[in-house]
Structure 1
Amino acid sequence: MAKDFASPTLAAIAAIISVYIAFKQISKQHRNNLDAQKEQAKRETKIQIFKEISEILDLEGAAIRDVHSYCFSKKYSNMEMKAPLEHAEFHELCNRFGRAILVVVGKVESHEIINFKLFRAFRFGLQSIHHDLLKLRTEADRFKVLEEVVELANNTLMYFYDFQICMQNISYGDVFDSEVPSREPADPVVKSS
């Protein structure tokens, strides 16, 4: 009498296939879990870096606002709305302004991996302002120097503001499913991001 091996063989094959499918599902769930943890770590890192950069922008922005306020009030201190910025004054203001820019540039440069294009564009913009500020050391027209420092400080503060908006959108946009709109200057002459 011949034994029927078909039924146990089919049962064994079904068991092997079931175990294989279970392992595949567990492997896929594990991979999805790792991906979710990775995304969560990225999000938390972005938020932490945003907070650090935001603190630096606030601190260094205050120094630049002081320079801007001083120059702005000096400019409008007379009826002609013109005043010279003497070398000694400029040197001191340039040091404060330049140092503030370089602190921000250093912090941003050390975190470009977060968003390479944005961070690099912001850094290059600030370095360009710093270059223009240093170029004023040789400017003979001290009235023009004052005008330029006011404009450079204003542009820097607007860049800080625009960068903070971009960082908020990168850090919190997907968390809150929302975006902060870009700055829309009332005066079309004023630069925008």
Structure 2
Amino acid sequence: MRDIKSVCVYCGSSSRVRQSYKDAAVELGLILAREGIRLVYGGGQVGIMGIIADTVLQNGGEVTGIIPHFLNESEIGKADVTELIAVDSMHVRKQIMAEKSDGFIVLPGGFGTLDEFFEILTWRQLKLHDKPIVIADIDGYWAPLVGAIDHIVDEGFAHQRNRDLFKVIPSVAEILPTLQDEPMGDTSIQTART
């Protein structure tokens, strides 16, 4: 069983989304605060990103936000987090998010969420880390993505063992147990350097 003390959550910065996605962010934020697990996220105060950070903070939890300077101006970095780290690039942002996290959660989101998911998945495939990755398929949001990945495996562009590098679960309640139950892999693996 893995000791999960911090998790990176990849999610959208849009507020124009289904209520069920917002509810999932609140539910996850409550769980993280209750379990004393630090949230590591993109540092914004808008959309699902802002909802989960607010929920963790309002319930006594700790939040680390990592945001590039240029996004800090447009998304307005969430200043009341436990720790806000402003960086020079998206690459540095993703690297620090990975280094500060014991596992990764993918909630509904857009292109940025996909970018973050595929990068951390690729890093795991390349054995640059061995931290668990969970996709929360809220209301079937990620079903088309999972179907596309399964198609890639079926067509021979990825091995089945690479498909097994992440788990897909249908509810927020299953996220933490899934992360914790992921078998430990190669403990000598180091976090990716970009």
Q: Same fold (TM over 0.5)?
A: no
| Between structures 1 and 2, the one with greater strand share | 2
Q: TM-score, normalised by structure 1?
A: 0.23
| Between structures 1 and 2, the one with greater helix share | 1
Q: TM-score, normalised by structure 2?
A: 0.23
Computing the radius of gyration from Cα coordinates, the structure with the larger value is 1
